[in-house]
Structure 1
């Protein structure tokens, strides 16, 4: 099993103290957490993309390029790239450049994105957001594989023998499809034989498990080898301590602060108490053995081989956050790496050969 540390770069008041850091300090935290993730042996570090408050993750290529310059080994993920809002040509240029600068460490998780404010900012309607996502991905995919691209498009000017530079380093970059509960992302991933990354954050396990089962069905429907499936899954939070009592006691103020923030936003909480949150959500809060057991329970339903954890302290003290990550890496990760297989592909740059000029997208 592989492990990612991911941040959406939320810039909100601290859930316990109520203090909000400056924007510059918040970005510095992201960089420090990326360095910590590489130091502790995580396999990847991901940065989200949102274009509305309370997030400041509107430019993941810039953030990841800075992280690429500070790190040497860790793979760099987007979580997610909102292709429904972006011009796929411009997105390709940014990410191909980042891929070269990072030495082929880039992987993308794409999705349509959430949020009314960011949709309105880019003048994208709810009715065409899924079609935009599919069209943008198809164009992006072809640009990565073809030296010249001709494509009739609805949501951007058509392309005729278009050349887009720089040409890629990874051939091609791996693209995961991020999904919460919508079948559109699943269908797109299954059609192209791409890996799926389940959000697995907001709800209990059932809707995510159902969608992953549907993905596996559609994967086989499109003629792909079942052995080649790769699924990743998120977590709603993490704090690993020596005992469950210690873990819940430390996490309770964080949970209650986040609960109050949700209520301020007018959101109805799915998990009303920290005990319910620990029991029914994907959060990994408890002793090392409890964390191992819970990941196994989810793996029984998902068959996932990649797991993402929160890169941010998220209300914990910095020392507790680091202690939790160290304990995860020393006592949890080795067991899960032994028990659960890796994805069915090499965890490294995709440099099999030159781009296939003239290749058509399926």
Structure 2
């Protein structure tokens, strides 16, 4: 199994202190998180894309380009690239450039995106969002294989022998499909034989497990090799300590602060107590043994080979966050790497399909 950390770059009050960092400080914290992930041996670092409050992750290519310059080994993920909102040609140019700057370490997780505000910003309707996502992905996919294409697009000017530069370093890049609630993204991933990344953060396991089951069903329907399937899954929270009660005690104020923030936005929390959150959500909070057991439990339903943790402290102190990630790498990751399979491809710091550099 492989492990990545992800940030959506939420710019909101600290759930415990209420302090709001400056925008510059918030971005510096993201860079620090990326450096920490590489230092501790995580396999990837991801940056989300949102175009509405309370997020400031509207330019993941810019952020990841800076991360690429500061790191050497870790693979760089988008989480997710909202293709339904973007011109696929412009997005391709950005990501092809980033792939070169990153030395072939880029991986995309694409999706239609969530949120009415960002739909309104880009004049995208709920009715056409899925069609836009599918069309943009098809253009993106073709460009990654041939930078001169003809395509009768519906949502942007048609392409006639259009040339797009630069060519990316990786041809093709690996593209994951992010899935939270809908079968459309799952079917699109299965149709093209692409890996799936389940959000797995808001609800109990059942709706996500059903989508993964459907993905495997559609994968077989389209005639792909079952051995080539790869699934990733998110987590709703993470904090580990040697003693499970210490982990609960440390995380309780974080959970209560997040609960208050959700209520301030008029959201109805799915999990109203920390105990329920730990029991029924995908959150990994407890002792190393408890976390290993829970990942195994989810693996029985998902068969996933990539797992993401939150990249940032999100209410924990910097010392708590670092100690918890160190404990993950010393006591949790080695067990899961040994007992659960990797994705069915090589995983290194260079371009896909090429040998790792010495």
SS of the residue corresponding to residue 251 of structure 2 reads helix
Matches within 5 A, 1:185-224: 185-224=185-224
- Number of aligned pairs? 353
Q: Distance in 2 between matches of 1:202 and 1:42?
A: 24
- Check whether the contact 1:169–1:351 (CA below 8 A) recurs between aligned residues: no
Q: Distance in 2 between matches of 1:16 and 1:351?
A: 42
Matches within 5 A, 1:59-70: 59-70=59-70
SS of the residue corresponding to residue 213 of structure 1 reads helix
Matches within 5 A, 1:13-52: 13-52=13-52
Does residue 157 of structure 2 align to residue 157 of structure 1?
yes
- Check whether the contact 1:196–1:232 (CA below 8 A) recurs between aligned residues: yes
Does residue 108 of structure 2 align to residue 112 of structure 1?
no
- Check whether the contact 2:105–2:351 (CA below 8 A) recurs between aligned residues: no
Deviation at 1:147, TM superposition (A): 3.1
**Which residue of structure 1 lines up, in the alignment, with residue 294 of structure 2?**
294
Deviation at 1:168, TM superposition (A): 1.6
**Which residue of structure 2 lines up, in the alignment, with residue 251 of structure 1?**
251
- Check whether the contact 2:99–2:106 (CA below 8 A) recurs between aligned residues: yes
- Check whether the contact 1:77–1:106 (CA below 8 A) recurs between aligned residues: yes
Unaligned runs of 5+ in 1: 354-362
Matches within 5 A, 1:287-326: 287-326=287-326
**Which residue of structure 2 lines up, in the alignment, with residue 140 of structure 1?**
140
Q: Distance in 2 between matches of 1:37 and 1:101?
A: 19
Unaligned runs of 5+ in 2: none
- Check whether the contact 1:175–1:194 (CA below 8 A) recurs between aligned residues: yes
Q: Distance in 2 between matches of 1:153 and 1:262?
A: 39
Q: Distance in 2 between matches of 1:352 and 1:83?
A: 25
- Check whether the contact 1:51–1:58 (CA below 8 A) recurs between aligned residues: yes
Q: Distance in 1 between matches of 2:230 and 2:32?
A: 29
Q: State the TM-score, normalized to the length of structure 2.
A: 0.98
Deviations for 1:287-328, whole angstroms, at most 9, x for unmatched residues? 000000000000000000000000010100000000000000
Q: Distance in 2 between matches of 1:238 and 1:351?
A: 30
Q: What is the RMSD computed on CA atoms of the aligned residues? A: 0.8
Q: Distance in 2 between matches of 1:162 and 1:269?
A: 48
**Which residue of structure 1 lines up, in the alignment, with residue 88 of structure 2?**
88
- Check whether the contact 1:172–1:350 (CA below 8 A) recurs between aligned residues: no
SS of the residue corresponding to residue 84 of structure 2 reads coil
SS of the residue corresponding to residue 77 of structure 2 reads strand
Deviation at 1:260, TM superposition (A): 0.5
**Which residue of structure 2 lines up, in the alignment, with residue 173 of structure 1?**
173
Q: Distance in 1 between matches of 2:91 and 2:147?
A: 16
Deviations for 1:173-232, whole angstroms, at most 9, x for unmatched residues? 100000011000000000000000000000000000000000000001001000000000
